[in-house]
A and B are shown apart, each in its own frame.
Chain A
Amino acid sequence: MINKAIYVDNNATTPIAPEVYQEMIPYLTQYYGNPSSIHTFGGQLASKIDEARQRVANLLGALATEIVFTSCGTESDNAAILGILSSNPSKKHIITTKVEHPAILNLCQHLEKNGYDVTYLSVDRSGALNLDELQKSMRPDTAIVSVMYANNETGVIFPIEQIGRIVKSRGSMFHVDAVQAVGKIPIDLSKSSIDLLSLSGHKLHAPKGVGVLYIRRGTMIRPFIIGGHQERGRRAGTENIASICALGKAAELAHKNIADENNIVRKMRDRLEKGLLESIPYTFVNGDTVNRLPNTTNISFEYIEGESILLLLDQHGICASSGSACTSGSLQPSHVLRSMGVPFTAAHGSVRFSLSRYNDDSEIDKILEVMPAIISKLRAISPYTPKTK
């Protein structure tokens, strides 16, 4: 197993913060009780879950009672949409966007087969939504509008509060998949029109397999996982205490570090992006570079294919990802880039670098050093590379 890496794939998952790991250990060793037990040994753990809940609430500007722990971002997304639909059985219309994560898109496609009508809002070349289209798509039977806060592939941030105002003025529920936004940009739910919000632990330096669904107080929603009384009946199943406490700690750290994300991480990202654009011809950035997460850059290298780039980067221990068909697990390039109208050729040759506060300048130097040779090598093999020069 490789353990030394230049890890710039933080939108896929993040390293667990050392403090977060420390926080977990007691619950994986001596404190193995069940928080629902009457005895002190188990029961005392309930207060630890409440502490974690409060820490997450603090990060989001929410009330602790509005935080429900789940098993991942995908579960939170499913619970939000299915929970709202089942408490509004007469409303059969859903609005979302074409660039959502599969956790939303595939769920919506599944619902279409079960009698629901789904509107998928389009995006323009920069990845932005057209709010007029949203206005026109709202219907009296629109049960829920689900829009991601920031896109996992491009980092493009949607104007969530403007969207929320439109949705609320028409009486629908508003769900936001904020899996990529939480911890990277400030979010204050106390002054927000968001009814439901999903986040995932492993995107903010907590472990995989824990998430949160924020449910605004007073929201009518049916539970998605039915069973015991845990999470006040809103999400059954004995709590994953170690991971919940880890997420609490990660939320506390994110709260503390949010300024760094927007300064230090942003500077590294900008230097990387600028350096690559300057040193490599036929290269451009995908998506709006202003309304964008501070850690993400998605760059297309024309005439070559993304998986080949990743394989060569991998030789240097550099971990990134691509929107190319070969890496997306399907045979077509990223649905996000295609929805934006990025030419197929450039979509196949796209690479996403996503940084975190655990990266440093020497790593950026290394990427800038090896990329030009990688790109030239592949372009020398490609039949499409222009012959000029």
Chain B
Amino acid sequence: MWNYTDKVLDHFHNPRNYGEIENADAVGEVGSMACGDALRLTLKIDKNTQTILDAKFQTFGCGSAIASSSAMTEMIKGMNLDEANKITNAEISKFLGGLPPEKMHCSVMGKEALEAAIANYRGITIEKDEEEGRLVCRCFGVTEDKIQKLALENNLHNVEDITNYTKAGGGCGACLQDIQDILDAVWHNKKEKAPAAEAPKPEAAKKLTMVQKVKLIEETLEKVIRPSLNQDGGDIELIDIDKNKIYVKLLGMCSHCPSSSFTIKSFVETKLKEFVSPDIEVLEEQAND
């Protein structure tokens, strides 16, 4: 028996907003019957304000899949599309008072359906295989990019976590080693460098001259941050340094990625705080292309 919160059970037993909006302005469909869960989201959107006027879902899946769908529709009603696009799977889970670890993939499905619906409204077609990279898990159709992205966003370090969030590896198991390798690549810098540099770092950071600091920032960007972004087909450029404020610009895939602001804040900043100084703040220059 799963340990579901009261809120999960409430949204399962009394799902809000289920059904289908006729003549919907946006439709997002993810999952499949074969995978064991699927979600179809329909939205009514105000053309002028880009506000989500109504949201309805249809879900095939377990209790937490239905609850996550219901929660997600409640969260996005009344939001404009940019706000809605920023919702993360962690926020859906949080709205429900948390999901069992093995069920995190339900919140990911909610997030993906939302992303798909917004992309649909904006006329972007997501070509699964081409755009999202190499297929890692055949059983559940999970790509390398999805694994990397979720690992970074949710700070996942173990293969088991990846399985909980994406299902990848939960079928025949043939892809488990591949997932391990991807995780190793994502986190390898942290593992190799952090422990060695940890103790003397904060002290040293305070005494850095501006020149030393710039050098250290550049080094961290080069050796720690850039390799991870490159795996997503993205890159990062240092624009300016103003005391502890660091202005950067995201290039390539990252600049269009809906989770880019999240990536910057949580990933780049954490790394720079860790390797350079805990006082660092990262700010994003808008890519003007």
User: Which of the candidate stretches A126-134, A235-243, A302-310 sits at the interface with the other chain?
Assistant: A302-310
> Which B residues touch A383, using CB under 8 A?
29, 38-40, 58-60
Contacts of B29 in A (CB 8 A): 383
Contact A324 B38 (CB under 8 A): no
B171 touches A308 (CB 8 A): no
Which residue of A312, A331, A381 contacts B58 across the interface (Cβ within 8 Å)?
Answer: A381
- Chain B residues with CB below 8 A from A380, complex form: 18-19
For B163, the chain A residues whose CB sits under 8 A away are: 331
Indicate whether B167 reaches chain A with its CB closer than 8 angstroms.
yes
Cβ contact of B59, chosen from A307, A332, A344, A382, cutoff 8 A: A382
- Give the number of residues in A that approach B within 8 Å (Cβ atoms): 24
- Are the C-beta atoms of B60 and A324 separated by less than 8 Å? no
Chain B residues near A332: list those with CB within 8 A.
Answer: 36, 139, 170-171
Instruction: With both chains docked as a complex, state the minimum distance between the C-beta of A329 and any C-beta of chain B, in angstroms.
Output: 9
- Does A311 reach chain B (CB closer than 8 Å)? yes
Q: Does B275 contact A (CB under 8 A)?
A: no
Q: How far apart sit A333 and B140, CA to CA, in the bound complex (Å)?
A: 13
Contact mask for chain A residues 103-117; partner B; CB cutoff 8 A; 1 contact, 0 none: 000000000000000
Residue A17 CB within 8 A of the other chain: no
Indicate if A315 sits at the interface (CB-CB under 8 A): yes
Q: Is B227 among interface residues, defined by CB-CB distance under 8 A?
A: no
Closest chain A residue to B41, Cβ basis:
A383
Residues of B within 8 A of A330 (CB): 170
- Which residue on chain B has the smallest CB distance to residue A330? B170
CB distance from A117 to the nearest CB of B (A): 20
Q: Is the pair A305, B61 in contact by a Cβ cutoff of 8 Å?
A: yes
A345 contacts B40, C-beta separation under 8 Å? no
Chain B interface main SS type: mixed
CA distance A128 to B252 in the complex (A): 56
Alpha-carbon separation in the docked complex, A304 to B66 (Å): 11
Q: Mark A326-364, 1 if CB is under 8 A from B, else 0.
A: 110011110000000000110010000000000000000
* A324 pairs with B18, CB closer than 8 A: no
A344 B33 Cβ-Cβ under 8 A: yes
Chain B residues, CB < 8 A from A325: 36
Give residues of chain B (162-187) contacting chain A, Cβ–Cβ below 8 Å: 163, 167, 170-171
Chain B residues closer than 8 Å to A382, beta-carbon distance: 58-60
Residues of B within 8 A of A32 (CB): none
| Total of A-B residue pairs, C-beta within 8 Å | 69
- Measured CB to CB, the nearest residue on chain A to B60 is A382
Chain B interface residue number, banded: 20 to 34
> Which B residues, 60 to 76, have Cβ-Cβ distances below 8 Å to chain A?
60-63, 65-66
Residue B199 is within 8 A (CB to CB) of chain A in the complex: no
A344 touches B18 (CB 8 A): no
Residues of A within 8 A of B12 (CB): 308, 311
Binary CB contact string for chain B from 1 to 17 against chain A (1 if under 8 A, 0 otherwise): 00000000100110100
Contacts of A303 in B (CB 8 A): 60
Taking the complex as formed, is A282 at the interface, i.e. its CB lies under 8 A from any CB of chain B?
no
Q: Does A384 contact B (CB under 8 A)?
A: yes
Does any Cβ of A come within 8 Å of B274's Cβ?
no
The residue in chain A whose Cβ has the minimal distance to the Cβ of B105 is A331
Give A344 to B60 CA distance when docked, in angstroms. 13
B34 within 8 A of partner (CB): yes
Closest chain B CB from A234 CB (angstroms):
36
Q: Who on chain B is nearest to A380 by CB?
A: B18
Beta-carbon nearest neighbor of B39 in chain A: A383
Do A344 and B62 form a contact, CB below 8 Å, given A331-B170, A383-B40? no
Question: Given A307-B62, A330-B170: A384 and B36 within 8 A (CB)?
Answer: no
Q: Are A331 and B63 in contact (CB under 8 A)?
A: no
Q: Are A304 and B63 in contact (CB under 8 A)?
A: no
Pair B59/A333 contact, Cβ less than 8 Å: no
Chain B residues positioned under 8 Å from A344 (CB to CB): 33-34, 36
Give Cα distance in the complex from A348 to B60, angstroms. 10
B145 an interface residue at 8 Å Cβ cutoff? no
A344 to B63, CA, bound (A): 18
Which residues of A line the B interface, CB within 8 A? 303-305, 307-308, 311-312, 315, 324-327, 330-333, 344-345, 348, 380-384
In the complex, given contacts A324-B36, A326-B63, A332-B170, what are 6 additional A-B residue pairs having Cβ atoms less than 8 angstroms apart?
A: A305-B60, A308-B62, A308-B66, A326-B62, A380-B18, A383-B60
Binding site for A on B (CB under 8 A): 9, 12-13, 15, 18-19, 29, 33-34, 36-40, 57-63, 65-66, 139-140, 163, 167, 170-171
> 29 A–B contact pairs at CB < 8 A?
A303-B60, A304-B60, A305-B36, A305-B37, A305-B60, A307-B63, A308-B62, A312-B13, A325-B36, A330-B170, A331-B36, A331-B167, A332-B36, A332-B139, A332-B170, A344-B33, A344-B36, A345-B33, A380-B18, A381-B15, A381-B18, A381-B58, A381-B59, A382-B58, A383-B38, A383-B59, A383-B60, A384-B38, A384-B60
Of all A-B residue pairs in the complex, the 9 with the closest CB atoms, nearest first, are A331-B170, A383-B58, A326-B62, A307-B62, A383-B40, A345-B33, A325-B36, A344-B34, A382-B60
